[in-house]
Amino acid sequence: MVEQDFLLALWHGLGWPLARLVFFMSLGLLFANFIEALNWTHGVARLASPLIRLGNLSDICGASFSVSFFSSVSGNAMLGEAHAQGKLSKRELVLANLFNSLPTYFLHLPTLFFITASLLKEVAFVYVGLTLAAALFRTCFVLVVGRLLLPPPEESCVTCRLDEQKSKGWQEALARAWQRFLTRIRRILLFTVPIYILFFLLQRHGLFSALEALIAQHLAFLAWLRPESLSIVVFHIAAEFTAGLAAAGALLAAGTLSEREIVLALLAGNILSSPLRGVRHQFPFYAGIFSPGLAVELIVYNQLFRAVSLVAVGVAYSLL
């Protein structure tokens, strides 16, 4: 009986979440490879081409950016392969990875908006609008840095690169997509599965809960927020995103906090909770695409850049 309970808990805590992660990651990767083979990203690539040229980014980065609107795993896999083959410098890889934060944001935008709108009503437009502004700010900043630090590419034709990989028909597209999928998924799973298991064990032994509690207990630097707002931040950190939103919705409905105070508290909770969640959710599949050391480096850059952009829009909003 004890053994059966243990196996059941192991399945619900590790087996099912890992199986679901692998399934959706594989489905997204296969779908993105298929639309890449059919060249359906051509339209997005055409729109992205002026931005790519503006930031002195290569056509590989533009193709990755286009594919990332459908699958961030597939977009990053393109960057990882190009870097491993010496076609992409580390500096351009970092900038391209940061540049892909915009399509990644749009992938999650529908879920973010509808959950937020159901709990916060019209305040959702302000909060989601600010996070969108932060994503656009990050994109513009990457283009400026790329313009300053990267040499102009010898030739840049994002749509040409995608045209080279275009399949002649559905059967060829399926065959090509399946071949790319097998090549990419092997390496991803080789690192993702053991790292996910390791993170499960660390979480099982309370490491992440202890870190989240530690952060939640040391919020003295948020003294500029009203005490009632801290519950939103604490729920955001110690529980999950929807818990912070639920707390915000309750306080908003009761009239305890103004709309501005709700939005600022949500932004603070978002900034403080993202690093741990980023490591926990991003590292397993990032380590399967890039080397583990480079994966950590990219996650650190992503989280710092994201935090700075959210602080910037939060300060601008508070001053309006």
Q: Does residue 99 have a pLDDT over 70?
A: yes
- Average pLDDT for the chain: 77
User: What pTM was estimated for this model as a whole?
Assistant: 0.74
Residue recorded with tokens 């932060």? 134
Residue 103 identity (one-letter amino acid): P
Quick one: pLDDT band at residue 309, thresholds 50, 70, 90?
A: very high
Output the CA torsion sign for 112, 118, 119, 120.
Answer: positive
Summarize pLDDT for 234-263 with one digit per residue, the tens. 766 665 667 677 777 777 777 777 888 888
Fill in the DSSP letter of residue 290. S
User: What tokens appear for 202 in the block?
Assistant: 């660390």
pLDDT of residue 198: 72
**CA 192 to chain CA centroid, nearest Å:** 16
pLDDT band at 131 (very low <50, low <70, confident <90, very high): very high
CA 20, CA 55: separation in Å to the nearest integer? 37
> Using one digit for the tens of pLDDT, what is the confidence trace for 139-186?
999 999 999 998 887 655 555 555 555 555 667 767 777 777 777 777
Place of tokens 């519950």: 231
Inter-residue contact 98 to 57 (CB < 8 Å): no
Q: Distance between CA 5 and CA 91 in Å, rounded?
A: 50
The whole-angstrom separation of Cα 247 and Cα 224 is 19
- Residue whose pair of structure tokens reads 């690192």 in the numeric block: 191
- CB within 8 Å of 103: residues ≥ 6 apart: 65, 66, 68, 69, 72, 75
- Whether the pLDDT of residue 268 is over 80: the answer is yes
